[in-house]
Amino acid sequence: MTRLPNRLDGSHLEALNVAFLQILEAVGEDPQRQGLAKTPGRAARSFEFLTQGYRQTVEEVVNDAIFDSDASEIVMVKDIELYSMCEHHLLPFIGKAHVAYIPDGKVIGLSKVARIVDVFARRLQIQEQLTTQIADALMQALHPLGVAVVIEAKHLCMMMRGVEKQNSIMTTSCLLGVFKEDARTRTEFLALLK
């Protein structure tokens, strides 16, 4: 896959800057007032960071961190913090991912699991798709016996607007391979989540 730049080029940042300036004007603000004078540029750089997953690939973040291993039991990384942006309202959703796999001769460096989560979380997303993308990416990178991903998140698009339900948490899961096919493996995974 083609390597993408880690940062937006000047023309893309300038386009974001102009867009945020227009948003400020559209809501009735004076973008020249002291508190807002530098806001469009800051917001552009912030948005660049929040969407950096578009400029990363799984292959790039995994690099050479796949190792031969005789491990054959569940490998799980719990409570991986994630921050993403709802593609419907451009508001954040914040939560944690729990990612597990059963090796089939290969394991992946521990930090790489969290980096895979970030590649997809740092894009405009819906949680359902994010969960599946993480599971599919780990399956393709490692070819394990199975992958399980559970994400729990709070969505500001539901908390700050609309129904305004502050304590709602969305949970999604994606089970592949033996986690989907074998009830005992699935039960073990769910027990480890607690």
Active site residues: 86-89, 127, 155, 157
What are the distances in angstroms from CA 188 to CA 78, 103, 145, 182? 14, 15, 15, 10
- Residues with Cβ within 8 Å of 23's Cβ and at least 6 positions away in sequence, in order, are none
Residue from 119, 138, 49, 123 nearest 86 by CA: 123
Please state the separation of Cα 193 from the chain's center in Å: 19
- What span, in angstroms and rounded, lies between the C-alpha atoms of 114 and 181? 25
Which residues, 6 or more positions from 8, have their beta carbon under 8 angstroms from its beta carbon?
16, 48, 55
- Edge to edge, the sheet with strand 170-177 lists 124-125, 75-86, 92-102, 146-155, 170-177
C-alpha–C-alpha distance, residues 193 and 12, integer Å: 41
